[in-house]
Amino acid sequence: MRDLPSGTVTFLFTDVEGSTRLLHELGAQPYAEALAEHRRLIRAACAAQGGVEVDTQGDAFFFAFPTASGALASAAEATTALASGPIQVRIGLHTGTPLLTEEGYVGADVHFGARIAASSHGGQVVLSRATRELLQEHFILNDLGEHRLKDIDEAVSIFQLGDDSFPPLKTISNTNLPRPASSFVGREEELAEVLARIERGARLVTLTGPGGSGKTRLALEAAATLVPEYKAGVFWVGLASLRDPALVLETISQTLGAKDGLAEHIAEREMLLLLDNLEQVIEAAPELSQLLSACPNLTLIVTSRELLRVQGEVEYPVPPLAEREAVSLFCERAQVEPSDEISELCARLDNLPLAVELAAARVKAISPAQILERLSQRLDLLKGGRDADPRQQTLRATIDWSYDVLSEEEQALFARLSVFAAGCTLEAAEEVCEADLDTLQSLVEDVPLVVELRGGGPGVTVRQ
């Protein structure tokens, strides 16, 4: 049997990038010759540093080294030797203490090393933290942050040999931020102000405002902008369906896949969490404050109709859209040109994003002038509630009006969908609400519903 190293071993995995494409581009004979030369160069580079060939399959190699420095030196030599040829190889290194049997190595370290290699690109050498910690300072290594690998529960740190630029690693995304179905209109100043608060060191930024003011949309845009800044990831945690404050930390844990305690999982990781719609479980604020204290590199963006009122909180009251932004939003959503009627309509809606979008959805059926007239009639009916927030009156009028113009079938389905406080999948809507696809599609197109991509596919969310 081959004399494989035992104890602490560094694995080196290689794979040719785009081998099928290269075969078609070069032709069978030239590709075979290039592949043979690639194998010769890799074997020579690894043998020179004491590497032992464990396995080879097709155009992929698996080597084992007694030292991490030898493995990395081999990877560097092989990459340099192959640089001028048609074949580019991705290389991954990981160090562990696998079980050595008569059949070879057994253990999670083998799979981990293969996943590390699969995340890289041709010409790129990447390595795990376990390998990094055994290396001397003379290697130039670039910290690529924490990443999620297939079939690996915890996020892992990945480093790159050298400082060359490569595309993002091919890992599971380090963010679960929902991808809005529509574009982000305006709000440049507001976005800059939210980001500035975090750049100045705020670790708890609460976006406040009435329903429909655009808190969630602004928070999502800010979080998406910050993804490159947080090595451990940026994650959205939807809380709209919760009613028990005791479930807030549990919901965060489930989102992150934390199994051994939330604070222990986050620890010193550089992570940002967007806690969306916290107001109905605001009593969880002290626990969130404790989490921030326990995790020094954690940042929270919160959307809520009220403040958490804990130490270190920085508020950002989300204002209505500027007049020109509200008009732009209406025109983009309705696909119409600006007009005086649209400007007046947006003003009557207090330039609230949700109200503007609801009104824009009606342009397929009636003109902006007709919308303005009918909306005015509806608002007249709501006068008299002196203790109600004027903004809420305006938004409620818009929603009431949108509901009234639905067909009986659409109204019935709209009411049934209300049981899903945090949205639902198409399958759930069909099963629980007995929804037919045509009626559901009509609601998606014409009333305050949006389609968002969340994990497994499209779902329906009743906006509030």
Q: What is the pLDDT along the chain (464 residues), one digit of tens a residue?
A: 468 999 999 999 999 988 888 998 899 999 999 999 999 999 999 999 999 999 998 889 999 999 999 999 999 999 999 999 999 999 999 999 999 998 899 999 999 999 999 999 999 999 999 999 999 778 889 998 888 887 777 778 899 999 888 888 887 777 888 887 777 888 888 999 999 999 999 999 999 887 778 899 999 999 999 988 888 889 999 998 888 999 999 999 988 888 778 999 898 889 999 999 998 899 999 999 999 999 999 999 999 988 899 999 999 999 888 889 999 998 888 888 888 888 988 888 888 888 888 888 888 777 888 777 777 665 443 333 344 334 334 455 545 655 665 678 878 877 787 777 666 777 777 777 776 777 776 665 444 443 333 444 445 554 44
Q: Which value, to the nearest 10 degrees, does the dihedral of the CA atoms of residues 69, 70, 72, 75 take?
A: 170
CB atoms within 10 A of CB 7: 8
Residue with tokens 């969630």: 216
pLDDT at 4: 93
pLDDT number for residue 444:
58
Query: Residue 451: what pLDDT?
Result: 37
Residue type, 175: T
- The CA radius of gyration of the chain, in Å to the nearest whole number, is 28
Global pTM reads 0.59
Sign of CA dihedral 181, 183, 188, 192: positive
The predicted pLDDT at position 115 comes to: 93
Based on the number of CB atoms within 10 Å of its own CB, is 421 exposed (0-12), middle (13-18) or buried (19 or more)?
A: middle
pLDDT score, position 442? 62
What is the C-alpha to C-alpha distance for residues 137 and 354, in angstroms, rounded to an integer?
55
* The pLDDT value given to residue 446: 46
Integer CA distances (angstroms), 64 to 47, 77, 149, 251, 365, in order: 10, 16, 21, 41, 69
194 is written with which tokens?
């939210």
pLDDT at site 422: 63
Q: How far is CA 222 from CA 191, 193, 194, 272, 279, in A?
A: 6, 10, 7, 11, 20
Q: What is the pLDDT of residue 448?
A: 40
What is the reported pLDDT for 63?
97
